[in-house]
Amino acid sequence: MIRGIRGATTIETNNKQEILAATEKLLREMISENKIEANDVAQIVFSVTEDIDAAFPAAAARQIDGWSFVPVMSMREIPVPGSLKMCIRVMMTVNTTAKQEEVQHIYHSGSIVLRPDLSTVKGN
């Protein structure tokens, strides 16, 4: 079965190191909590709010051993007035036997406000 696994985080400053570090940390937890193997991933789509442009968050996936062949893409979120700022979102599409309700969606930092109904609160 193909499932989407959501994740998000927020950062404090728009710099390459923080973008990549926050994204890698988020990805590693998504992978661990959902027991994901790179070969089971169809794609990972990353989006950022308009105030993030110092790096592509998709580059963080390349820092994880064995994930260099996973297709990734970064894009920009729609700038809706009043929406969460400095936010990196992830949609990982995977082949899994997990049921929808078993999927662990991961939200770090200020991103819990996006989907508190789906997430387990995770720290920074």
Integer Cα distance of 84 and 86 in angstroms: 7
Give tens-digit pLDDT for 20-79.
999 999 999 999 999 999 999 999 999 999 999 999 999 999 999 999 999 999 999 999
Q: What is the pTM of this model?
A: 0.91
Identify the structural domains of the chain with CATH numbers, from first to last.
Answer: 2-121 (3.30.1330.40)
Q: Is the pLDDT of residue 115 over 80?
A: no
Q: Which residues contact 21 (CB under 8 A, 6 or more apart)?
A: 60
Structure tokens at 47: 């989006």
